[in-house]
Amino acid sequence: MNEVVKTREGLTYDPTQDCKLVGAARALGGIKDAVTIVHARPGCHCGVLLLRALGSNQNDIRIVGSGFRAQDMVYGAEGRLAAAIRLSYNNFKPSLIAVLNCSAPAIMGDDVEGVVLSMKEEIPAEIFSLSTGGYEGPAWIGYEETLTELTRFMHNHDKKERDSVNIIGFKMDEIKAYSDLLEIERMLNSQEITVNAVLTNSSFDELKNAPRASLNIVFGGDGLECAKIMQEKFDMPYVVTPYPFGLNNSIEFLECVTKSLNKEINQEFITAEKNRIKERIERIFLFLQGIYDMSVAVIGDGARAFDLAKFLSDELCLNVKVLAITSRNLISRDKNENNGDYFETLLLEPDRFEMDEEIKSKGVEMIFGSSMEKKLAYELGAPLVRISYPVIDEVSISDAAYAGFRGTPHLIEKIVNSVINNYTEV
């Protein structure tokens, strides 16, 4: 069991997580033929657009603002929203248009539902709206609600496709998302399992047919509510797996999935992958001995940070002094209670000021986090491995994953290089 669990102390909150709007926008961003309309003052639209544009999907921004202006605070912006829906359809011909109703129009009482209903006659695409006022909750709630909303459009399939799975909780705007997904699919294919739909990295039509699969894989617990509804509505079982960082998580991931599908695991594949990893780490074993027991902090959301910390602690034998879960999900607390022996202090949805103070007091030598930890890393003189959302100062366009068997050497390479590249004096 870990030493300390801490939550936020004060009333003011320098947040390490975003609001409901961003959670919803992230979920929708992975639907390849959907347009997201941010019905809000310009700052919210600009913020969501920036989050996307500063990542590695600059050719795929389907985020439209409704053009909400100051005068609309008095007269309402329903006309603008209607225009945004129409223009979105005319320009992108999407299968789905999702309207995210943010703080200003939500408080003012814009009849967003009414606009959506009236536009349905004219626009040959599915349209729905979600209430995403910033005051309504954090990003993970928005993410869960959006995936849940998507289940409304799904078709039941009585005959399930054998050994076909959906992946739930996958976010296409994470660093290395594209390459991680390629590796995860490769791993599943090695067990003769195919991927039916990814929530979310699929077309709307593929999502509608998600119930065709025989199992839902829930990464780290994100999207659990959606999986539960799909179980109830479509009689689809689900399994919560770790995010496959490192060797053990990758094996556990495959074991969970194969077991749920009543399949024998392909041990030959795992042995081959193990050998491959062994051969790779042998090439740098002196460095791995050198960084053994290095004190680190891991900062990230509940679906990935627990699993990353476990890999760093169990396999690389780094000393995880602080694990900060910036954004939890429905199983984060269970994860702590059941498995919390691979970190020293756990911070749950901490205030940034308090988190920074805690990390500074622990003699941390390396940080695993997002771009928002750049200043902290600089102040500590510690390398920062950008692995948590949002990463806005690093791109990833190669096929080199962080996840899975193939991702393990790459992640190790990144970690070691971050240490030995870091010496700034010449």
Q: How far is the CB of 201 from another protein (least distance, A)?
A: 18
Q: How far is the CB of 111 from another protein (least distance, A)?
A: 9
- What's the CA gap between 323 and 355, in Å, rounded? 10
Q: Which is nearer to another protein, 61 or 284 (CB)?
A: 61
Residues 321-360 that bind another protein (CB under 8 A): 351-353
Interface pattern 359-388 for another protein (x via CB under 8 A): ------------xx-xx-------------
The answer to whether 102 contacts another protein (rule: CB under 8 A) is yes
The answer to whether 12 contacts another protein (rule: CB under 8 A) is yes
Record the tokens describing residue 222, joined without a space. 């994100």
Length of the chain: 426
Q: How far is the CB of 185 from another protein (least distance, A)?
A: 26
Coil vs helix vs strand at 83: helix
Beta strand segments in 269-365, E: 295-300, 319-325, 345-348
Radius of gyration of the chain (CA): 22
Beta strand segments in 253-309, E: 295-300
Residues 34-93 that bind another protein (CB under 8 A): 40-51, 53-54, 59-61, 63-67, 69, 71-73, 75-80, 82-84, 87-88, 91-92
Q: How far is the CB of 22 from another protein (least distance, A)?
A: 6
Q: Answer whether 165's CB lies under 8 Å from 242's CB.
A: no
Interface pattern 127-166 for another protein (x via CB under 8 A): ------xxxxxxx---------------------------
Sequence-distant (6+) residues with CB within 8 A of 189 are none
Q: How far is the CB of 416 from another protein (least distance, A)?
A: 24
Residue 325: name the closest of 302, 356, 354 by CA: 302
Q: How far is the CB of 74 from another protein (least distance, A)?
A: 9
Residues 107-126 that bind another protein (CB under 8 A): 107-108, 115, 118-119
Burial class (CB in 10 A: 0-12, 13-18, 19+), 365: buried
Record the tokens describing residue 47, joined without a space. 């913020």
The answer to whether 167 contacts another protein (rule: CB under 8 A) is no
